[in-house]
Chain A
């Protein structure tokens, strides 16, 4: 069934969009990532104009994250205090990120920069997570106890705060910095930023994986809602029909994904997310390295 999207001004298959939304929703619920880093490239691929894809995706992430976070609230796996600290950083970062994005757009080459950002960050994060989870799984098999949380330089910083749900007593500086950097990258790359934040929370802040997912979803809701409003009021690129189709599939998928995620071991969850991140990274790197079939591209408007 073809459906015409009023803002994107293209006609696409409604079931294809529902399916894509569902698939990404499952991943979103399982790993606590918004799924934007998968969905945005997929939308480009089916012919949605990039500006509309990025803006609409932000709106869809609000829906799937909201649906996912409710399931986590019921299991009490959301650290509201940590989420709020991350959110404050995230909003500052998003505002800065939009400014950086507009500056780079004026310089041209913004597409390349976005893709390089993806390749570099997905590569580093995916690689780190993959090897760490592999080691953890090996240790479990050998019967070794998981490594104790080590005290590092992070514990020496001032402004300490107790995060009871996460079982942490650390300074607020690292979470705020994580929030800001995720916000900047999220705005530049047009995603929620969960795939960066989840590993940062696990490895930098030392939060337990089960709490990380819910807390990340909580923060993403607000950052993406903020981004949606920015796009809707400045670029007029939020396509509500596209968003509704994606989010109907997405919210159902997120519910299914959350339930799958709860049944799985933390190490398995991490290794799967790592593999997925590496796959997207590989595809993007491949596109940059191999000669494209069409060397020319059309952009609307003059300089």
Chain B
């Protein structure tokens, strides 16, 4: 009986080893980003190691891709055209789901790290991370609207494609840093790490980074939503007190 159990255990070990040859052990410099009054962007260090049971396979070489995605929301992209001599919003395309923040960091060019099929499956590259529903019939070039979204978001560092910024040592230790801009939305930021060989994903690890307001920021935000009338009155009281205060100070100064 005992022989049978140990045999089973050994067999199980062999099977798991064969299935997951290389897996990720991950570390994050922090898993919560606190937004306080003097918040001016943040940097998150993503590092880890590849755990394997066998020797390092020689070819194709191991590549690492790290993605961080902020909460998604629907967007409407509008395009201006000249009508009656002035520039007016004419066409609009709805984007079903677009992350508020999205960063991709890779150990080599993204095109070399991932095949088109795998990109489609895991939605890694920036255009794939955006889910667009069908455009209205009268718009034939809906992809230019998605491109515009990426262009505008990239300009403000909300979307980042950082190729070659993941450093990989001995095909085992990897590290990269993701810069979060100052204009950051609260929420859960999905962080994914992919190991690829020859463009195929061989291992995947998912975790979350929480971005939340703290202290006064948290208190004011909560008050403005939960007790809007009180918040409005407080805003007015502060405004009137400041107006009266300045007047009183100036009168005192003139005497």
Centre residue among A4, A225, A302, A303 by max chain B CB count within 10 A: A4
A180 in contact (CB, < 8 A): no
Within 8 A of B (CB), among A240-260: 240-241, 243-244, 247-248, 251-252, 254-255
Chain A residues, CB < 8 A from B152:
294, 296-298
A289 in contact (CB, < 8 A): yes
Band of interface residues on A: 35 or more
Min CB gap A174→B, angstroms: 29
Known: A7-B221, A112-B89, A292-B87. A67 touches B38 (CB 8 A): no
Q: Across the interface, do A232 and B224 meet the contact criterion of CB distance under 8 Å? A: yes
Docked CA distance A294–B220 (Å): 34
A282 in contact (CB, < 8 A): no
Chain A residues, CB < 8 A from B221:
6-7
Interface contacts (Cβ under 8 Å), in number, total 191
Known: A11-B39, A66-B244. A111 touches B89 (CB 8 A): yes
Q: Across the interface, do A303 and B94 meet the contact criterion of CB distance under 8 Å? A: yes
Chain B residues, CB < 8 A from A290:
87
Contact bitstring B16-39, A, C-beta under 8 A = 1, else 0 = 000000000000000000011111
Chain B residues, CB < 8 A from A74:
251
Docked CA distance A2–B37 (Å): 9
Known: A2-B182, A298-B75, A299-B75. A225 touches B236 (CB 8 A): yes
Known: A11-B41, A11-B182, A243-B238. A251 touches B245 (CB 8 A): yes
Chain A residues, CB < 8 A from B231:
232, 238, 240
Which of these, A3, A66, A289, contacts B37 with CB under 8 Å?
A3
Docked CA distance A4–B39 (Å): 6
B43 in contact (CB, < 8 A): no
Band of interface residues on B: 35 or more
Known: A9-B184, A233-B229, A238-B232. A243 touches B239 (CB 8 A): yes
Within 8 A of A (CB), among B26-83: 35-41, 73-82
A103 in contact (CB, < 8 A): no
Q: Across the interface, do A297 and B78 meet the contact criterion of CB distance under 8 Å? A: yes
Stretch among A56-64, A120-128, A148-156, A198-206 lining the B interface? A56-64
A-B contact pairs, 25 of them (CB 8 A): A4-B36, A4-B39, A4-B217, A6-B221, A7-B221, A9-B183, A11-B182, A62-B236, A63-B240, A66-B239, A71-B250, A108-B92, A232-B232, A240-B234, A288-B87, A291-B87, A294-B151, A295-B81, A296-B145, A296-B149, A296-B152, A298-B77, A299-B76, A302-B75, A303-B94
